């Protein structure tokens, strides 16, 4: 008996950290915890099970709105006129009146804080001309993000047959939103605010914004059939986590489960910024208007480690002694290999910090002449 118990303990210790369901006490049947910068899953429990996402759907709605703003097809100060269709949504709303005008910024605030269905549809119409066209783009974007369990039938999350997603898929689109559109945090962190010149009160449907230290968002959802859902984000010490909870029985269950997931992540994981172990040397440029070009990291490199590990992070740099002009800014020159406990973890390109043009024929001649003039003489 003792031998069996000992073997069980050993096997438990060998399980991947995110597979140890007992380490996180949650009541929701489906959940996932993901780190933003790496996309690594820290914990999951039936994360691919398909459920109705309710208003967590609006994470994708907000993502497409933010992408339209980035593309310049929509601006924060643009004024949107409420259509009869947008005003007919029901459910959570700010009671738009037909013909009422609000800016994109005001409608995004209403969606992010109060989960306003009428504003979600008005924004969808502003981006794509109709909710139908917008929903088509939602499904296209879902496929691009690898959301294999998701089908959107509307942009609000109101009950509709076949409108489904999973905790894993919601984590994917939540990560895309907060990773590439940090400006939205100005709205998702609002606890209380107003619209219509202070005449309409908004209170965030996500109570973690008020109660959980470091909370940054993101979106709640609930219907009679979806029960209670949540995509909760929070940041501490430069690490932002995404906790998704699906089909919780009560509002408290979803918030408590999300908080437990976030607590587990912050207590057990940390990010390490990785840099080359030595200063990167400049590289000689043959026939360039400048003699050298400086290599730099193509992007920041961070490694997620469990705090129980004594992870040894080392790097190895591969760079040529010289390159030929022309050199384009951002051109790959070499790479940095990152090792974690002696095992290769990832490779990061080393690129040219600036461009270097090639010398003209006259420039080459002048360089040769200068070389000849400064050759040492021998008695």
Look-up of token digits 């400006």: 183
Question: What is 20-268's CATH topology?
Answer: Beta-lactamase (3.40.710)
Structure tokens at 158: 């109101």
The reply to whether omega before 326 is within 30° of 0 (cis) is: yes
- Of 45-54, 140-149, 341-350, the range with the lowest mean pLDDT is 341-350
* Residue 58 a catalytic site member: yes
In the block, which residue shows the tokens 């096997």?
11
pLDDT at residue number 373: 64
DSSP 123-165: HHHHHHSSHHHHHHHHHHHHHHTT-TT-B-S-SS----TT-BB
pLDDT 10s digits, 272-322: 888 998 899 999 999 898 999 999 999 888 888 887 665 688 899 999 999
User: Are 178 and 242 contacting, i.e. CB atoms less than 8 angstroms apart?
Assistant: yes
Q: Choose the catalytic residue: 30, 36, 55, 165.
A: 55
Angle between helices 117-128 and 58-71 (to 10 degrees): 40
CA distance 306 to 269: 5
CB 234 within 8 A of CB 257: no
Whether 174 is catalytic: no
- The whole-number pLDDT of residue 24 equals 86
CATH 2.60.410.10 fits domain 283-357: yes
Catalytic residue status for 222: no
CA distances from 115 to 22, 61, 107, 158 (A): 33, 11, 10, 11
Task: Quote the DSSP letter at residue 279.
Answer: P
- CA dist 256 and 178 (Å) reads 22
pLDDT (0 to 100) of residue 345: 87
State the span(s) of the chain assigned CATH 3.40.710.10.
Answer: 20-268
- CATH 2.60.410.10 location in the chain: 283-357
Residue-wise pLDDT for 236-266, tens only, equals: 999 999 999 999 999 999 999 999 999 999 9
User: Catalytic: which of 30, 36, 58, 128?
Assistant: 58
Question: Which range (22-36, 126-140, 154-168) has the least confidence?
Answer: 22-36
Q: Which pLDDT value is given to residue 310?
A: 56
For 315, phi then psi, to 5°, come to: -135, 155
Q: Which is the catalytic residue, given 30, 83, 115, 270? A: 115
Q: Across all residues in the chain, what is the average pLDDT?
A: 90
Mean pLDDT of 86-94: 95
């Amino acid at each position: 008996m003792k031998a069996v118990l000992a073997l069980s303990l050993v096997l438990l210790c060998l399980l991947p950290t995110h597979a140890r369901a007992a380490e996180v006490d949650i009541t929701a049947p489906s959940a996932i915890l993901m780190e933003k910068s790496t996309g690594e899953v820290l914990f999951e429990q039936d994360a691919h099970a398909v459920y109705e996402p309710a208003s967590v759907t609006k994470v994708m709605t907000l993502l497409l709105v933010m992408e339209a703003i980035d593309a310049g097809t929509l601006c924060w100060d643009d004024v949107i006129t409420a259509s009869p269709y947008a005003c007919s949504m029901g459910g959570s709303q700010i009671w738009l009146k037909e013909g009422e005008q609000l800016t994109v910024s005001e409608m995004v605030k209403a969606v992010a804080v109060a989960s306003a269905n009428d504003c979600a549809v008005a924004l969808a119409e502003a981006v794509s001309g109709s909710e139908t066209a917008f929903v088509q783009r939602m499904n296209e974007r879902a496929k691009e993000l690898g959301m294999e369990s998701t089908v959107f039938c509307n942009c609000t999350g109101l009950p509709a047959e076949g409108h489904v997603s999973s905790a894993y898929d919601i984590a994917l689109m939540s990560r895309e939103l907060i990773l590439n559109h940090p400006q939205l945090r100005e709205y998702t962190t609002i606890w209380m605010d107003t619209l219509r010149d202070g005449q309409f009160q908004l209170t965030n449907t996500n109570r973690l914004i008020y109660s959980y230290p470091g909370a940054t968002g993101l979106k709640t959802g609930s219907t009679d059939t979806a029960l209670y859902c949540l995509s909760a984000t929070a940041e501490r010490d430069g690490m932002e986590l995404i906790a998704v909870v699906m089909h919780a029985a009560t509002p408290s269950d979803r918030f408590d489960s999300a908080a437990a997931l976030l607590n587990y992540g912050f207590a057990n994981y940390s990010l390490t910024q990785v840099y080359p172990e030595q200063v990167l040397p400049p590289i000689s440029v043959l026939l360039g208007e400048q003699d050298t070009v400086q290599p730099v990291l193509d992007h920041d490199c961070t490694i997620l480690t469990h705090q129980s590990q004594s992870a040894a992070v080392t790097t190895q740099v591969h760079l040529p002694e010289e390159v030929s002009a022309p050199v384009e800014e951002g051109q790959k020159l070499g790479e940095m290999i990152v090792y974690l406990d002696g095992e290769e973890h990832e490779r990061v390109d080393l690129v040219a910090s600036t461009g270097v043009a090639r010398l003209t024929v006259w420039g080459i001649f002048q360089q040769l002449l200068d070389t000849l003039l400064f050759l040492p003489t021998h008695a």
